[in-house]
Amino acid sequence: MPTALVTGASAGLGRALAAALVSRKWTVVGDGRDEAALTAAAREVGFTAVPGDVTDPAHRAALAGACPGLDLLVNNASSLGASPLPPLGGYPLAELENVYRTNVFAPLALTQLLLPALTAARGTVINVSSDAAVEAYEGWGGYGSAKAALDHVTAVLAVENPDLAVYAVDPGDLRTAMHQRAFPGEDISDRPLPETAVPAFLRLLGERPASGRYRAADLLVAA
């Protein structure tokens, strides 16, 4: 039975991915900062909960300890940053540091810890990206530039680890709590639910194309 670690599994895309993997007989370990929400999701979906913050080295060590063997790492946990979204010219630098700590440094640090297990399994790393990594949207400079850095980290990891499948995946705009924080007070009910993007991730796992950056919309159309 293959094993996956999904960060940010208490809600949104992380929870949807965890549920899909569990339904396909994967053993899933999930983390999240909100212990109550993570515990509830783990109970309902059927994964092992390891609550904590991915920016905390002790928590990352606990996650590695929970995954002695690992076939898939999904770095999904992310920080939007300040809300409402501020222009870069006035972005609070302490908050920007936190965005990079969560969206770039933590995924890389966790990947470093788990690289031996992933290499032994010829496994897969999926880093959840965003269209804001490649498009210049007003107000999205903090989050977008961090995701752009994560995209490049992903690309270099792929070159350095040819036995692994290493993907950056843009899931598209989804109806999540984080996306709602980007548009406070606005109705985002027109955005699709996170579950709609899951088949794109499953296609990557099933077909294992070349490492690279993929858009869920393209994978879904091709499917």
| pLDDT tens digit sequence for 118-172 | 999 999 999 999 999 999 999 989 999 999 999 999 999 999 999 999 999 999 7
* pLDDT for the residue numbered 175: 75
Query: For residue 5, is pLDDT > 90?
Result: yes
Query: What CATH number corresponds to the domain at position 22?
Result: 3.40.50.720
* pLDDT for the residue numbered 222: 57
Domain that holds residue 151: 3-222
Out of 91, 100, 137, 143, the active site residue is: 143
Mean pLDDT, residues 27-31 taken together: 98
**Selected residue with higher pLDDT from 221 and 151:** 151
- Exposed/middle/buried for 134, CB within 10 Å: 0-12, 13-18, 19+? middle
- Please enumerate in sequence order all residues whose Cβ is within 8 A of that of 210, keeping only pairs 6 or more positions apart, or say none: none
Phi-psi region of 52 (alpha: psi -120 to 50; beta: other; left: phi over 0): left
- Please enumerate in sequence order all residues whose Cβ is within 8 A of that of 121, keeping only pairs 6 or more positions apart, or say none: 69, 70, 71
- Mean residue pLDDT of the chain comes to 94
Indicate the pLDDT class of residue 100, thresholds 50, 70 and 90.
very high
Q: Give the type of residue at 15.
A: R
Query: For residue 223, is pLDDT > 60?
Result: no
Pair 117, 68: CB distance under 8 Å: yes
Query: For residue 187, is pLDDT > 80?
Result: no
Give per-residue burial for 53-66: e unless 16+ CB within 10 Å, then b: bbbeeebbeebbeb
- The domain tally of the chain equals 1
Indicate the pLDDT class of residue 194, thresholds 50, 70 and 90.
confident
Active site residue 167: no
